[in-house]
């Protein structure tokens, strides 16, 4: 009698799948893809549109800093590391120079369950309240004061 080399795997497959599915388990709440947009008002002199990180008291806003999106009770809804920020001009006036006063803006794609309130925690610092904004697609936004 010849045995299939996949016979053992076929017998284990239902057990493996049940373990994987059990791990995905209880989260039956619908999830939505959103972008967390954070404007760090650090007023740094740099070219517009380049990768940036927060400066001064905001140096913890940088590429690969750990973040969590939490609900009002502090439960984690999404987590990861920050992407690089992009420098954006602080005002519209053309100064006719390459390096201008800028803020550093971060755009973080997340998928979260529906909640009444969301907060962003970066590098285990004080949570920052997020506000929903749908003007440019589903987003949660915050402006970090200067």
Instruction: Check whether 76 has a pLDDT greater than 80.
Output: yes
Confidence (pTM): 0.76
- pLDDT at site 12: 32
Instruction: Check whether 102 has a pLDDT greater than 90.
Output: yes
Distance CA 79, CA 95 (A): 39
Are the beta carbons of 29 and 114 closer than 8 angstroms? yes
- pLDDT at site 98: 87
| Domain covering 27-144, topology | Immunoglobulin-like (2.60.40)
pLDDT in tens, 59-69: 999 999 999 99
Q: How far is CA 8 from CA 17, 24, 75, 120, 121, in A?
A: 15, 25, 41, 47, 46
Structural domain spans, the chain:
27-144
pLDDT band at 27 (very low <50, low <70, confident <90, very high): low
């Amino acid at each position: 009698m010849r045995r299939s080399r996949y016979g053992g795997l076929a017998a284990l497959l239902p057990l493996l799948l049940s373990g994987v599915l059990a791990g995905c388990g209880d989260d039956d709440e619908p999830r939505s893809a959103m972008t967390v947009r954070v404007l760090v008002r650090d007023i740094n002199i740099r070219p517009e549109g380049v990768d940036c990180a927060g400066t001064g008291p905001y140096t913890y806003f940088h590429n690969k800093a750990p973040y969590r999106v939490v609900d009002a009770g502090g439960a984690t809804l999404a987590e990861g590391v920050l992407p690089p920020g992009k420098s954006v001009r602080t005002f519209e006036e053309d100064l006719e120079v390459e390096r201008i006063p800028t803020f550093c803006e971060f755009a973080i794609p997340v998928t979260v369950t529906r909640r009444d309130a969301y907060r962003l925690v970066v590098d285990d610092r004080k949570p920052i309240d997020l506000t929903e904004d749908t003007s440019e697609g589903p987003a949660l936004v915050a402006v970090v004061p200067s």
